[in-house]
Amino acid sequence: MVSDQLRGKGYDQFLPMCWSRRLWSDRVKVIQMPLFSGYLFCRFDPDDRFSILTTPGVCTIVGRGRTPLAVDATQVENIRLAVRSGQGLEPWPRLEVGNKVRIDVGPLCGVEGTLLRHKGTSHLILGVTLMQRAVAVEVDETWVVPSPNVYASPKSAHQSAQPQLVS
């Protein structure tokens, strides 16, 4: 809805979509969903953002305080190319060394810790604070998700008229 309204106002917007399997009680259905739930990219002048903010469905423009931060245009173009490629896409949690993470599956479900390092593609080493000591535990990578109560700090702003992230 927001994507259509911004396009109707003449803005260059981009809502990357992906296909997702959803299980209903009586069937499985494949539907198209936003790749970044709740977000879309929009190119606009940050000094003239009132029209964006008054669009029904727009909550805020991603930034630091009241200052919108531009998204690197190369990153947006890479996402655009990935969507156009026809290859399967799916949202993926961003796991980086030093980030707080939580184990969502398996015998350690609910344990939180700090990601120490990746070990290949199927395992992670996870630091868990236990009795004021750290332990390393090898877990399946698919069990680990970013901790929901920790947010990454935004990067510095780029020049005006760069793509912005709208929530």
The model's pLDDT over 63-95, given as tens digits with 9 standing for 90+, comes to 888 889 888 888 899 899 988 888 888 887 667
What's the confidence (pLDDT) of residue 166? 65
The pLDDT, as a whole number, for residue 17 is 92
Q: At 163, list the tokens.
A: 């793509």
φ, ψ dihedrals at 37, nearest 5°: -55, 125
What's residue 58's pLDDT?
95
| pLDDT score, position 28 | 92
The pLDDT of residue 109 is: 83
State the DSSP H helix or E strand holding residue 100, giving kind and residue range, or none if neither.
Answer: strand 100-103
Q: In this predicted structure, what is the pLDDT of residue 154? A: 37
Q: Which two tokens stand for residue 107?
A: 């015998």
Q: Write down the pTM of the prediction.
A: 0.61
Q: What is the pLDDT of residue 153?
A: 39
The Cα–Cα gap between 145 and 92 comes to 9
What is the set of domains in the chain, with CATH numbers?
2-92 (3.30.70.940), 100-146 (2.30.30.30)
Q: What pLDDT was estimated at residue 160?
A: 42
Residue ranges of the chain with pLDDT lower than 70? 93-94, 117-136, 149-167
The C-alpha torsion from 97 through 100 and 103 to 107, rounded to 10°, is 90
DSSP state of 70: B
